[in-house]
């Protein structure tokens, strides 16, 4: 090999290394997860275990209003659902049975319907079909599901008497045993 061909080979290798390095840096910048420091001030983390459940006020199917913060002192199960959601349909009987068992023990179950993706008449039919007795709240504009940054349906939050989220379950269907175990754990918490 001549000195010129060695120099040419070395130059190509250096160029290849520089292009690879630049591509790696570019990939790192493009694919990185934004840090909390650089996140806009208006964004808030999704509600999670160990933190206060975000407050909301919604109309109920029967024309009343429910404000979450006014339920402090009680255990609250917040179940986000829709009539078209198969796992929601499957877990509804277990939710109703659990509510009937624990409602006199200071447990409130709130069925938050994503009414922006449903209709009130479908919700009414669903409530009649399953003979639901727990409060059904109507998230007509999707603001509460946005506040809770839902990632799937059903999504259920188990909230203690102080308003702190203890369990979040995305997906379903939940069994009656699972629901009762979470409620029992909350009932045993020291106030």
Q: Give the pair of three-digit tokens for residue 132.
A: 């639901």
Instruction: Reply yes or no on whether 36 is catalytic.
Output: no
Q: At what angle do helices 120-130 and 86-102 cross, to 10 degrees?
A: 60
Contact 165, 159 (CB under 8 A): yes
Spatial separation of the C-alpha atoms in residues 132 and 100, rounded to whole Å: 10
Instruction: Reply yes or no on whether 85 is catalytic.
Output: yes
Spatial separation of the C-alpha atoms in residues 74 and 163, rounded to whole Å: 8
**Close Cβ partners of 175 (under 8 Å, ≥ 6 residues apart):** 91, 94
Which of 82, 85, 107, 109 is flagged as catalytic?
85
Which of 66, 68, 82, 88 is flagged as catalytic?
88
Q: Give the pair of three-digit tokens for residue 4.
A: 């010129």
**Close Cβ partners of 53 (under 8 Å, ≥ 6 residues apart):** 47, 68, 76, 78, 157, 159, 163, 164, 165
Spatial separation of the C-alpha atoms in residues 120 and 128, rounded to whole Å: 12
**Which residues are marked as active site?**
85, 88
């Amino acid at each position: 090999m001549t000195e010129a061909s060695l120099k040419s080979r070395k130059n190509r290798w250096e160029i290849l290394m520089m292009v690879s390095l630049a591509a790696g840096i570019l990939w790192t910048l493009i694919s990185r997860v934004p840090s909390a420091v650089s996140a806009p001030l208006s964004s808030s983390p999704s509600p999670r275990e160990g933190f206060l459940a975000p407050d909301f006020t919604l109309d109920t199917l029967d024309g009343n209003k429910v404000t979450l913060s006014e339920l402090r002192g009680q255990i609250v199960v917040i179940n986000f659902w829709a009539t078209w959601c198969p796992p929601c349909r499957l877990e509804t009987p277990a939710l109703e049975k659990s509510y009937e068992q624990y409602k006199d023990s200071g447990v409130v179950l709130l069925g938050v319907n994503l009414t922006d993706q449903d209709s009130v008449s479908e919700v009414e039919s669903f409530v009649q079909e399953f003979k639901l007795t727990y409060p059904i709240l109507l998230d007509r504009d999707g603001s509460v599901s946005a506040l809770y940054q839902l990632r799937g349906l059903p999504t259920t939050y188990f909230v203690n008497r102080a308003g702190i989220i203890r369990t979040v379950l995305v997906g379903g269907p939940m069994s009656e045993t699972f629901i009762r175990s979470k409620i029992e754990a909350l009932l045993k918490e020291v106030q």
